[in-house]
Structure 1
Amino acid sequence: MREQRESSKEYMTVGELAKKMGITVRALQYYDKQGIFSPSAESRGGRRLYTYKDMVRLHQILSLKSLGFSLDDIKNRLISLDSPDDVADALSRQAAAVREKIDRLTESLNAIEMLKSEVLQIQTVDFKKYADIIVNFHMNNEYYWLIKHFDDSLLDNIRSRFDEESGTIFMEKYNCLNEEAIELSEKGVPPEDEKAQVLAEKFWTLITEFTGGDISILQELIEFGKFEGIDNDWVQKQAEVNAYLDPALEIYFSRMGINPFVEGEL
């Protein structure tokens, strides 16, 4: 039950509050009807009256609403404002919600800027390739930008063999093997060493998984490995990995009697 008070400087009518907060009277009436924000008192004549505490509560509601929360969500997020700690807690939660929103907007902005950059570099309208770039970007695949360098047959292979989950797992394996190759190289482990040969076997298994035994895809990957027009940092890292893996793979192929460029040997 609302407290009955005479109008004073400590209280605001619905119109006064609406004007101060930049909101319509109708919106305030709707919030009251929904049970999310009601006046603390009313005058003896029946006019609804709001306090400055109500104003702080309304600010919290409007802030959460601007972040995309539904009224039901807001109801569950509102807490009492009866002590300084309560107010500080409410503001901390509000700040956390704002930061979360900023993070989401920043991610969306980065995706838009990324795609814009890739579109300009591709120089052709290719929505299929755009979609691949977007998917890989959202998978947190740091090599999403490489897609613009793939031809249609290589992309078709990737689309047919990998979904988001399996693609993510594949890239995790690939990155781990690259890091392992760099680590062994820095430690001076020779390519004929057992550790290097185990790495070569794991890397070749991964390549076989990627190509599905298709020699033409393997040849495309080798051509692609010439790195023409590709990001210099990536080129440098891959050159370091390949410098170590190539001789290790040659020894592995020789020991296993494998010729990867002969049909049926993949």
Structure 2
Amino acid sequence: METEKAIPTGYMTVGEVAQKMGVTVRTLQYYDREGLLTPSAISEGGRRLYTDRDLIQLHQILSLKHLGFSLGDIKNRLIPLDTPEAVAKVLDEQATALREKLEDLTEALRELTALRTEVMQMKTVDFKKYADIIVNLQMKNDFYWLIKHFDEPMLDHIRSQFDQRSGTDFLQTFLTLQDRAIALGRSGVAPDSAEGTAFAQAYWDMILTFTGGDLSMLPQLVELGQAEGMDPQWRETQTQANAFIGPALDAYFSQNGIAPFPEEGEP
């Protein structure tokens, strides 16, 4: 009873703070030793005494710790909470950190959900493909689902031919040319015109970049474009683009004496 009388009004003991904030007394003692949360006062009997202001600072510490900050980072982020502006600044920083954490978690959930869908559609366990899908999801490649249609030799070729940056650049080139083909077709540009030929040359160069000049891969690429189970929107876009790409390439090959597909019987 005498000990309690020695505690001034407005102060709390370490046990009271621990109970109120859902932490252990040992944690509060550790924060004191590390200079993270020093009690506002010490009682005559040597007990740590805390105020409501200390609770706010403890809440700040616990919030930052929950967000994954190390105790060293937290110590560097703590600032005096003497004004409304200072408190608001800390809360703004916590809100920003929380938003970033939420964005990361949301993206991770999106990737896991997408991978699960692909796993179920593939029907077989293939961790190399799973890894490729995850990499493409992280690249923000909306066509990650195409991977399940590639066989292992094709995937090995892609892995050896492209890294993350060159793969992203190639995909952007492909999408740009695809949109260009649709636009040229809608504008009524003749596939064998100068504009059509220029497009066909750019498209053929893109194919050579993808294959590394190995034209034996072309039949497989054609089959891939016709594979079952393709996304309907993807298939529709490809149909629109190919309506111009096919004739433009044919005209380009004819004009330049290029035979991309070997005649039957040729090696």
1:199 counterpart letter in structure 2:
F
Partner of residue 207, structure 1 = 207
- Runs of 4+ aligned residues of structure 1 deviating over 4 Å after TM superposition are none
* Matching of residue 188 in structure 1 with residue 195 in structure 2: no
| Unaligned segments of structure 1, at least 5 residues | 1-5
Q: In the comparison of the two structures, how many residue pairs are matched?
A: 258
Change over 3 Å in CA distance of 1:75–1:183 after alignment to 2: farther
| Unaligned segments of structure 2, at least 5 residues | 1-5
Deviation at 1:165, TM superposition (A): 2.0
Partner of residue 140, structure 1 = 140
Q: What is the CA–CA distance in structure 2 between the aligned matches of 1:45 and 1:22, rounded to whole Å?
A: 25
Structure 1 length-normalised TM:
0.92
**1:137–1:144 Cα contact (<8 Å) kept:** yes
Deviation at 1:257, TM superposition (A): 1.2
Partner of residue 230, structure 1 = 230
| 1:68-147 mapped onto 2 (5 Å cutoff) | 68-147=68-147
Q: Secondary structure at the match of 2:49?
A: strand
**1:227–1:235 Cα contact (<8 Å) kept:** no
**1:61–1:74 Cα contact (<8 Å) kept:** yes
Q: What are the Cα deviations for residues 96-149 of structure 1, in whole angstroms up to 9, with x where unaligned?
A: 111111111111111111111111000001111111111111111111001001
Partner of residue 25, structure 2 = 25
Provide the aligned C-alpha RMSD in A.
1.5
Q: What is the CA–CA distance in structure 2 between the aligned matches of 1:43 and 1:246, rounded to whole Å?
A: 87
Q: What are the Cα deviations for residues 69-120 of structure 1, in whole angstroms up to 9, with x where unaligned?
A: 1011112222221111111111111111111111111111111111111110
Partner of residue 44, structure 1 = 44
1:122 counterpart letter in structure 2:
M
Q: What is the CA–CA distance in structure 2 between the aligned matches of 1:202 and 1:41, rounded to whole Å?
A: 76
Q: Secondary structure at the match of 1:49?
A: strand
Q: What are the Cα deviations for residues 2-31 of structure 1, in whole angstroms up to 9, with x where unaligned?
A: xxxx62341111111111000001111111
Q: What is the CA–CA distance in structure 2 between the aligned matches of 1:136 and 1:198, rounded to whole Å?
A: 30
Q: What are the Cα deviations for residues 187-209 of structure 1, in whole angstroms up to 9, with x where unaligned?
A: 33322333332221111111011
Q: Secondary structure at the match of 1:252?
A: helix
The percent of aligned pairs where both chains have the same amino acid is 55
Deviation at 1:54, TM superposition (A): 0.9
Q: What is the CA–CA distance in structure 2 between the aligned matches of 1:29 and 1:151, rounded to whole Å?
A: 60
Deviation at 1:65, TM superposition (A): 0.5
